[in-house]
Structure formats: C-alpha cells, structure tokens
Amino acid sequence: MLEPGFAAFVLFVLFFGLLALGTPISVAIGVSSIVTGLAYFPPDVIYFVAAQKMFSGIDSFTLLAIPFFILAGNIMNKGGIAIRLINLAKLVGGRLPGALAHTNIIANMLFGSISGSSIAAAAAVGGTMGPLQKKENYDPAFSAAVNIASAPTGILIPPSGPLILFSLVSGGTSISALFVGGYIPGILMGLSVMLVAGVIAHRRGYRIERQSDMREAMQIVIGALPSLMMVVVVIGGIVIGAFTATEGAAVAVLYSFGLSLFYRMASWREYAEVLCSSAVMTCAILFLIATSGIMSYVMTVAGIPDIIAETILTFDNPLIVLLIMNISLLVIGFFMDLTPAVLIFTPIFLPIAGEIGMDPVQLGIMMIFNLGVGSMTPPVGSVLFVGCSVANLRIEQVAKPLLPFLAVLVLALMLVSYVPVLTLGLPRLFGLM
C-alpha cells in the first residue's frame, strides 16, 4: 500500500504524463486512477469499483440541468439571439471611449449569462464584433484580448453549468444560492475588463460610437427584451422555488427554441445540427464526470485530500490559507480545463474551506472565478484558443495585450476571496442561506 504522498505523486505524474502524450483528459483521469487504485485493491475489485463509481457519478437528477443548458445555449447561438444582445450592448457601451470594445464586453456578459458558456460567448460575440472593430481600425490583438478576457463572465453570471457541477460535487450546496451569489462577482469581473479596456482605448484614441436616437434605442431594447426575460423566468423560477435547476434548464430550452422560431433565423437542418453538437458535448462532459468519480474515490482511499489539507493548514492564518488556495487554483487552471478541475479539486479544497470558516457558496464562486481566469491562459485555455481562432491570430500575438486584463482580474479575484459579502450578500438578502 502506498503512502498518501507517494500515491499523489504516482496519480498526478501518470495523469499529466498521459495528457502530455495527447490522451483525452477523461481517459487520462480514468487510467491514472485505476493504475493508482491497483496499489490498494486487487485488479478484479478495482475494475468493479471503477465501474460502480462511474455509474454513481452520473446518477443524479441535478446533473440533467447541464445538457439542457448546453442545448439552450447552442439554440441561442444559432437562433438570432446573439445579434440582438450585441445591439443592446452597443447601446449601453457606445457612450464610452473604445465603444466597440465595451460593446464586446457587455455583450459577452449578456450572452454568457443566458447561454451559460464562456466558449459560446467568445465564439458568437467575438465572431460578430471582430470585423466591426477591425473596420474601425482597432488593433486586432487588443480586440481579441478584450473578447477572451470578458467571455468567462458567463460562467459566473447564472445560469452556469460549472456552478451546477460544483453543487453536485460538493455534496449539495444550494444551486439557488450559488446562482444568486455569482451575480456580483460576475459583474465585477466584467467591470474590471471594462476598466482596462477603457484606459487603453483612451490612450489610443478609439472613438465613441454614434448615439442612437430615442426611437432607435427603444427598438433595440424591445428587440432584446424577450432574450433578457429568459434569465428572469429561469433564475426567478429557481430562486422562488417554482422549479428546480433541472426543470429551469428545460424551461430555458423551450423558451430559447420558441424565441428562435419567432426570429426565423435558423433552418430545421441547423436545429438538427444543434441537437447533434449538444449531444456530443454532453457525452464528453458526462464521461468526464464519470471518470472523475473514480479519481475522487481513489484519492479518498489513498488519503490524498487529508494530506493536502494538513499541509496547507499548517499555516494558522486564514488569510494565508486563502492565498495558497488561490495560487494553487490559478496554477491548476493553467494546466487543466475547468470541468475536470472542479470535479477533482472540489473534494480537496472543501474540507480546507470548512476549517477556516469559509462558506461553500463562496468557495464555489472563488473556484469558478479562478478557473475562469485559467481558461484564458496557455497551455490548455479553451477560451484563449477559441478567441484566437475567431480572430485569426496566433496565441503569441494575443498574449501580451492580454496581460493587463489578467492582472486586474486577479485583483478582482482577491476581492471576491477576501470580502465574503460580495458573494454571500445577495443569497442572504433573498433568504437562500
């Protein structure tokens, strides 16, 4: 039987070694977990346990919300909703220097909050705003950096798949509290990006957009209102207890589909493609969740969470412990995508948070914020790759313009980490905690 420290070494060396060889992340998680588990169980037992943990990992009604929200986001991406939100964002951000950059940020906040996907926001909004900014002589690398830095706001502003995932892995943290708690940090994230974009735009002399007259502005608001109402219906229904998060996700699908039919901007063939792409994405995520169940079990048996917690908690000061947790999550985000990171490291950091008196809701928001920042960084930053692809730029061209945004986002992250009221204030106000 391996010592916990050596077990952790074997597990993570195997895992990252398989990733370096190009193995799919879900397969790397499963194989490294089973090989490590052989030190504690005979082969026939570990195979049986692995199958059992894979099944139990996805045997959850709450988990059904994720494929529904994925489908709703993909329908909105195809159904003409993004362009209406971009027009609204242009109306709001058009009065600021670098108006198109602010439009991109606000549109990512709006579209991301409705679709629940930072990748979908980066693709849909970046694909629309990039050519417009290029036409106005914006630096393409700056435009791409703005799009990449603001796209992850959608995983904090609800509805959010990662927050649902955290609720599941953490043992049932209130989804309503997580959703409502994500609003202020998500908006803070967007405002931080706007601050940097505004300073840079002012220095470069990027102009303010032409102001819409009252009639045109009303048409834009009315056009975007049905899309925005989806958030009110879904989140409002979940908060007041009219339906669960899973039922709310199903309502989101019906609402977005009905709205897309009304706009008539997608063909039936495109809807069929949306169903297929959503199914593929769902299968990938569910298989990842299933294999992560094996890793969580093997880590528990090996005592890895305990030894990590004991090591971090040797520092008596909760402020230092929080700083170590943040640094660890930022480093994890550099090398691991958001979903597996939430699945693997929530069971490790949850007991540590409990020891320093940190509420699970705040921990969840802090983790998602951290990993959202990680999604903008190489070598595995999914939002970074999508943003660069949409802008037709190489990563090295965008890296330098992205640095000021990352610096300010880390400062915003520290605020969320050390000022609990930013996360817990609204859930307590609505009686969700």
Residue 109 · residue 186 · CB < 8 Å: yes
Res. 195 pLDDT band, cuts 50 70 90 = very high
Mean pLDDT across the chain: 83
Which residue in 103, 82, 139, 118 sits closest to 391, CA to CA? 139
- Give me 269's structure tokens: 């063939």
Report pLDDT for 367: 92
User: The tokens of 41 are what?
Assistant: 């169980």
Query: Tell me, what's the pLDDT at 4?
Result: 59
Give the angle subtended at the CA of 122 by the CAs of 291 and 226, to the nearest 5°: 105
pLDDT tens, position by position, 97-117: 778 888 888 888 887 777 667
- Reported as a single tens digit per residue, the pLDDT across 310-329 is 888 888 788 999 999 999 88
pTM above 0.85, yes or no: no
Q: What stretches of 60-171 show up as alpha helix (H) in DSSP? A: 65-78, 81-93, 99-115, 118-135, 140-150, 161-169
**Per residue in 331-375, pLDDT tens?**
888 777 788 888 888 888 998 898 888 999 999 999 999 988 888
pLDDT tens-digit profile of 169-191?
Answer: 888 888 889 989 999 999 999 99
- List the domain boundaries for the chain: 61-429
- pLDDT for the residue numbered 379: 66
Calculate mean pLDDT across residues 262-288.
Answer: 84
Report the pLDDT averaged over residues 230-251: 82
% of the chain surpassing 70 pLDDT: 96
Integer Cα distance of 97 and 85 in angstroms: 20
- CB contact set of 86 (below 8 Å; sequence gap of 6+): 103, 107, 111, 125, 128, 129
Look at residue 165 in the predicted model and tell me its pLDDT.
86
Distance of CA 16 to the CA centre of its chain: 22
> pLDDT value at position 414?
94
Structure tokens at 304: 């890895």
d(CA 352, CA 417): 14
Q: Say if residue 197's pLDDT is above 70.
A: yes
Helices 118-135 + 382-391 axis angle, to 10: 30
pLDDT digits (tens, 9 = 90+) for 36-68: 888 888 888 888 888 888 888 777 777 788 888
User: Stretch 259-267: mean pLDDT, rounded?
Assistant: 81
pLDDT band at 236 (very low <50, low <70, confident <90, very high): confident
Q: Are 26 and 287 in contact (CB under 8 A)?
A: yes
3: left (phi over 0), alpha (psi -120 to 50) or beta: beta
Length of the chain: 433
Report the first-to-last Cα separation within the chain, whole angstroms. Answer: 42
pLDDT at 408: 95
Distance CA 200, CA 68 (A): 39
Structure-token match 């700083």, residue found: 323
Long-range CB pairs of 388-392 (<8 Å, 24+ gap) are: 388/144, 388/148, 390/122, 390/123, 390/126, 390/127, 390/130, 390/144, 390/147, 391/126, 391/130, 391/140, 391/141, 391/143, 391/144, 391/147, 392/140
Distances in Å between the alpha carbon of 429 and those of 167, 315, 420, 424?
20, 33, 14, 9
Confidence of residue 15 (pLDDT cuts 50, 70, 90): confident
Q: Is the pLDDT of residue 246 over 90?
A: no
pLDDT of residue 210: 60
Two tokens, residue 355: 């020891």
pLDDT in tens, 150-161: 988 888 888 777
- Residue 259's pLDDT band (cuts 50, 70, 90): confident
Give the whole-angstrom CA distance, residue 143 versus residue 239: 36
What whole-number distance in Å separates Cα of residue 181 and Cα of residue 425? 7
pLDDT value at 433 more than 80: no
Mean pLDDT of 79-90: 75
Q: For 225-240, what is the mean pLDDT?
A: 81
What is the pLDDT, as a whole number, of residue 342? 87
pLDDT bin (cut points 50, 70, 90) of residue 409 is very high
Answer yes or no: are the C-beta atoms of 67 and 325 closer than 8 Å: no
